[in-house]
Structure 1
Amino acid sequence: MIESISSATRGGSPRVAFVTCAELPDLDPDDRLAIEPLLRRGITVVPAIWDDKAVDWDGFDLAVLRSPWDYSGRRDEFLAWARTVARLANPAEIVRANTDKRYLGGLAENGVPVVTTTWLAPDQPWESVPARGEYVVKPAISAGSYETGRYDLTDPDHRRLAGEHVARLREAGQTVMIQPYLSAVDRDGETALIFFGGRFSHAIRKGPMLDGPYQGMEGLYRPEQIDPRAPRPEERDVAERVLAAAGRITGTAPGDLLYARVDLIPGPDGAPVLVELELTEPSLFLAHDAGAAERFADAIAARLVGSPA
């Protein structure tokens, strides 16, 4: 169906690549929801696999990163590719900064409430292991909750498995993140706020996903329970602060980003804290808001004519 839509409008209309991976050659179903709105705006959508050498990236008016979710184990290759695509959204420098979760440290230094994180370099052992409490262990470079586990450090088996998880990541040359598990997510879930062209579009609730130690993962991401959500005013405020701080760090305005997703969880005092700022290839959950696909299409169309979304 995607090919017939693209072919029908190819005569001189703008061509936009939706960048994906070999496992999703016809795009993620959610991204396909933007095809018809873009078609009505005279814009052709073409799925394009990021590491397919046959793709002529200069033949597109815009390349939009959507589902290249196999990149985390090949980040250097992915970044080298991104630098060759002149009209990439979001741009290659944003991709470089955002695909290593150490960006959270910079946001924290800029006044953003970020979940407390202990960072271990590959050559740094985990010496100050907490005596109790639940903690999340994950690599600084990953996608779709890959290599992410939850451990109760009062449980001897969990404590051993957490140590083995940290050691495995370090041996692979990864920077390790260790964060307290925010138990409010079990009740309230996670709020993801989606922005197009710097403007708030919609939000969703993600149910809790981490139920224990990491035991491997099938596919590109863990299944998620997603529902529409109206964000609280304090969540909107924190999300705006996150984008403003990211702009100060990167030297960009929020409107320079085609899309952004801010993921928040209530902290110990109930106030929202940042878990992740997704600027590279976030799921946009277009299916969970009636106007989201249209707003995304508007943002892309505005980017093509060089005006604000």
Structure 2
Amino acid sequence: MTHDHQPTRGEPRVALVTCAELPDLEPDDRLLRAPLAARGVRVDTVTWDAPDVDWAGYDLVVLRSTWDYVARRDEFVAWARTVPRLANPADVVVWNTDKRYLDVLSAAGVPTVPTTWVAPGEPWQPPERGEYVVKPAVSAGSLDSGRYDLADPEHRRLATDHLGRLGAAGRVAMVQPYLHAVDTAGETALLFAGGPTGPVFSHAIRKGAMLAGPDQPTAELFHAEQIDPRTVTPEQLAVAERTLAAVPGGAERLLYARVDLIPGADGRPVLVELELTEPSLFLGHAEGAADRFADAIVAHLPTT
């Protein structure tokens, strides 16, 4: 569809951006519509790769369920660079859609999962024992990811095959030790909504373990997750805030952020992922969350 309007000083217009597989957004993102309408904001749902969209006609373009970008990252980031008022900004999208950003955060002192990167064509010698996760550096929704017990010869073969498939497709692979606390404590996702000086903590959820074994091919956009509300600890919040403080260009530009943590071997929180592109915000799992994120969107609208 074509949108040929220009931003006005009257009714602000916001695009919530999705993918062709989810033309009406995913259910959680739909919760933003009513609070935005209540704040006098007109909301359109637009597919990121739809032709003839006048992106400059929006006061703000908000990335949401663009979950098909993984196989087309170059095209996606090129599109992001053409959108004048994109949230989160295009340079953040470029940085955050390749998980090698973990090295940047680790160098800044953020506790992260130790990661080995394997480029296409590079050899990989699997450790003799231990459980490890293999996944691509550009991925979403736990797709193309597997968990392997490397003391098992069959799992060693499957892990090597997995890396070979990724390399043959031209994809950088990442290998990380499996954090067993995810099987008991689960993964904690801390959600932040942008404020005047940077993202402000909104709420948190618990996700159950996602990977039960080797990678299994699927046509889904993402694997289903078990979600429950969670109360964060001061230590978790401190790690999340340290993570956001290390974002290149400054966290004050961010409309939203999600920080995913799992207890490490010593029980202290370790960063698994920092989601700044198209994360699920789990608005339906915390009272007032949709209103907080709607307020953040309004605060990011241009003032003139």
Superposition TM-score tier, normalisation by shorter sequence? over 0.9
Q: Secondary structure at the match of 1:192?
A: strand
1:7-63 deviation digits (Å, cap 9, x = unpaired): xxx994111000000000000100000100000000011100000013221121100
The one-letter amino acid of 1:43's match is V
Which residue, 164, 167, 189 being the options, matches 2:161?
Answer: 164
The one-letter amino acid of 2:22's match is L
- Whether 1:94 aligns to 2:92 is yes
CA drift at 1:304: 0.8
Q: Is the 8 A contact 1:150 1:181 kept in 2?
A: yes
**Matched residue, 1:136:** 133
Q: Distance in 2 between matches of 1:215 and 1:243?
A: 33
Q: Distance in 1 between matches of 2:169 and 2:136?
A: 10
Q: Distance in 2 between matches of 1:144 and 1:242?
A: 21
- Whether 1:297 aligns to 2:294 is yes
Q: Is the 8 A contact 1:199 1:255 kept in 2?
A: no
4+ aligned runs moved over 3 Å, structure 1: none
Which residue, 20, 40, 43 being the options, matches 2:41?
Answer: 43
Q: Is the 8 A contact 1:120 1:176 kept in 2?
A: yes
TM-score, normalized by length of structure 1?
A: 0.93
**Matched residue, 2:271:** 274
The one-letter amino acid of 1:155's match is D
Q: Distance in 1 between matches of 2:242 and 2:9?
A: 43
**Matched residue, 1:202:** 203
Q: Distance in 1 between matches of 2:302 and 2:86?
A: 15
1:223-246 deviation digits (Å, cap 9, x = unpaired): 000000011111001000000111
Q: Is the 8 A contact 1:182 1:268 kept in 2?
A: yes
**Matched residue, 1:3:** none
Q: Distance in 1 between matches of 2:303 and 2:241?
A: 23
**Matched residue, 1:5:** none
Q: Is the 8 A contact 2:118 2:172 kept in 1?
A: yes
Q: Is the 8 A contact 2:89 2:253 kept in 1?
A: no
Which structure 2 residues correspond to residues 221-240 of structure 1 after superposition, within 5 A? 221-240=222-241
CA drift at 1:210: 0.3
Q: Secondary structure at the match of 1:263?
A: strand
Q: Which has the higher helix share?
A: 1
Which structure 2 residues correspond to residues 31-180 of structure 1 after superposition, within 5 A? 31-127=29-125, 129-180=126-177
1:74-133 deviation digits (Å, cap 9, x = unpaired): 000001100110000001000000000000001001100000111111131102x11111
Q: Is the 8 A contact 1:102 1:140 kept in 2?
A: yes
Identity of aligned residues (%): 66
**Matched residue, 1:188:** 185
**Matched residue, 2:5:** none
| Alpha-carbon RMSD | 1.4
- Whether 1:259 aligns to 2:260 is no
**Matched residue, 1:6:** none
CA drift at 1:306: 4.8
TM-score, normalized by length of structure 2?
A: 0.94
CA drift at 1:296: 0.3
Q: Distance in 2 between matches of 1:110 and 1:11?
A: 41
**Matched residue, 1:29:** 27
Q: Distance in 1 between matches of 2:76 and 2:15?
A: 16
The one-letter amino acid of 1:117's match is T
CA drift at 1:305: 4.3
Q: Is the 8 A contact 2:59 2:302 kept in 1?
A: no
**Matched residue, 2:3:** none
